[in-house]
Amino acid sequence: MEKPKPDDRSNNAERIENNIGHTLQNMNEARDFEKAHAEELSQEDKQQIEEKNQRRERAIEGMREEIKDEVNDQQNNS
């Protein structure tokens, strides 16, 4: 039986920052798409895009809290 790999948390903050960047990029792309195709999109489609971006915003808030936790954990374990 293989031993589990040790938990390497050294790059967690960096990984989370990358995820935030990708999420922000997706939000901007969704807004650009909505603007570019506003006349073609149904009200339901627009609402779905806006709701998804709201979920993305909440996810970003959570990820920022995770970064704070990671930084605090790294400082406490240094």
- pLDDT of res. 78: 67
Give the residue with greater pLDDT, 38 vs 11.
Answer: 38
Where b means 16+ CB within 10 Å and e means fewer, 32-60 reads eebeeeeeebeeeeeeebeeebeebeeeb
Quote the distance between the C-alpha of residue 32 and its chain's center: 18
CA dihedral for 33, 36, 41, 44, sign (positive or negative): positive
Band of residue 3 on the pLDDT scale cut at 50, 70, 90: confident
C-beta separation of 13 from 63 below 8 A: no
Percent of the chain with pLDDT over 70: 91
Phi, psi (5° rounding) for residue 42? -75, 165
